[in-house]
């Protein structure tokens, strides 16, 4: 009936994808057969990598928003 196209909610999809990735990583770490120290190191490494990826994504989003605002 309507000729208006629905836009894909990319922001919501990215948030849901990120939450799923975090949940999957947590479950994988919980079920891994490692000692306490090895597990702590692994959790620290995964957390550091995740934070790096989040920072990159936020920076990319900020750049995109700035570029859109300028035009």
Return the pLDDT at 33.
Answer: 79
Return the pLDDT at 5.
Answer: 64
How many helices (H) does the chain have, and how many strands (E)? 2, 0
- Walking along the chain (71 residues) 10 residues at a time, the average pLDDT comes out as 65 86 83 79 87 91 87 70
- Domain ranges (residues) in the chain: 10-70
Burial label for 1, CB within 10 Å (0-12, 13-18, 19+), is exposed
Q: State the pTM of this model.
A: 0.47
Return the pLDDT at 56.
Answer: 92
Return the pLDDT at 55.
Answer: 92
């Amino acid at each position: 009936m309507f000729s208006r196209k629905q836009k894909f909610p990319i922001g919501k999809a990215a948030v849901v994808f990120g939450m799923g990735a975090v949940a999957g990583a947590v479950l994988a770490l919980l079920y891994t057969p490692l000692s306490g120290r090895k597990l702590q190191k692994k959790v620290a490494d995964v957390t550091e990598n995740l934070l790096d990826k989040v920072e990159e994504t936020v920076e990319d989003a900020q750049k995109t928003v700035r570029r859109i605002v300028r035009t």
